[in-house]
Structure 1
Amino acid sequence: MYPYLKRLEIRPLQEDDKPWIRAKISENWGSTSIVTCGKIYDTTTLPGYVAFDEKKPVGLLCYKMHDDAMEIVVLDCTIAGRGCGTELMYHAEKTAKNNGYRKMKVTTTNDNTNALRFYQKLEYTISAIRIGAITEYRKTLKPEIAIKGFHGIPIRDEIELEKIL
């Protein structure tokens, strides 16, 4: 379990959060659509959680339930190093457990070294690497995926991590 931060309030996403979600996701991903594992998800239609700091939204997590696991489709925090992402992940894991799921999955890209570090600290392990997947998604599913990402690293590969609950 992850410790709660007293200043952050986490609650399920609601209809009135959608304008903020649209703006936040579009700003960082070019649209509200997220591609993961070869599928496109509209983040405005997914369940999830939003984090607030003094009544201001500072983070969100959207997920999709599959037959065998809960998949984190997007995790985005405007503040870093304050536990926002950790608390959102804690709530998602709790939801998965409460719904009988025993596995969590999340996907990131080869350039996102911060995400790789973050998820591994939360005891997620790399379960798949899809070489060239992002390059293919850019051609066939979502052309607005950036060519270069964090630290100027070309975005090419998809890395899947999972955790047994």
Structure 2
Amino acid sequence: MPFEIWPIGPADREVVLRVLTDSWGSPIVVGHGEAMDAGSLPGLLAHLDGALAGLVTYAVRGREWEVVTLDAVIPGRGAATALLGALRQAARAAGATRLWLVTTNDNTHALRFYQRRGFDLVALHRNAVERARALKPSIPAVSDGIPIAHELELALTP
């Protein structure tokens, strides 16, 4: 799939905020005990035939890059895979030693997606979502019949 991928620029902030709000309820996301404004983070946009197809935001922490959000605006076309590949390439070029992310125990789709792309489960943070709810009370208690309780950390070497 020939995606056009480029970094988020000032003119893209409005669409970034819309995508994040649609996907996450707001641009504020919580992981590993930290609330982050994903709308102000660096990121990449993927376009397909002129239409926005996906968005990834990330945080650079020394030589480690964290995937904060990944959204396929047009699902099932490969935008998330293309964005992750482009981010991995950028991290490698910048000398990053680790690309990582956090998801929750209920998110079986994300677990399958990331593991199929080389990420390995490296940590289980028990009951971390309970602490996250103190920062973002809108995090639901249950998803698809699964109690949301734990954060799972996945990582790979770019």
Whether the 8 Å CA contact 1:134–1:155 is kept in 2: the answer is: yes
- Tell me, in whole angstroms, the C-alpha distance in 1 between the residues paired with 2:49 and 2:60: 30
- Tell me, in whole angstroms, the C-alpha distance in 2 between the residues paired with 1:141 and 1:130: 16
- Tell me, in whole angstroms, the C-alpha distance in 2 between the residues paired with 1:80 and 1:22: 18
Partner of 1:77: 72
Superposition pairs of residues 9-158 of structure 1, within 5 angstroms: 9-138=4-133, 140-149=134-143, 151-158=144-151
Runs of 4+ displaced beyond 6 Å: none
> How many Å apart are 1:102 and its aligned residue?
1.9
Give ranges in structure 1 of 5+ residues lacking alignment. none
- Tell me, in whole angstroms, the C-alpha distance in 2 between the residues paired with 1:61 and 1:110: 21
> How many Å apart are 1:28 and its aligned residue?
2.0
Is 1:163 the counterpart of 2:146 in the alignment?
no
Whether the 8 Å CA contact 1:35–1:137 is kept in 2: the answer is: yes
User: How much is the aligned-residue C-alpha RMSD, in angstroms?
Assistant: 1.2
Aligned residues: 158
- Percent identity, aligned pairs only, is 35
1:145 corresponds to which letter in structure 2? I
> Which structure has more strand as a fraction of its residues?
2
TM-score under structure 2 length normalisation? 0.94
Give ranges in structure 2 of 5+ residues lacking alignment. none
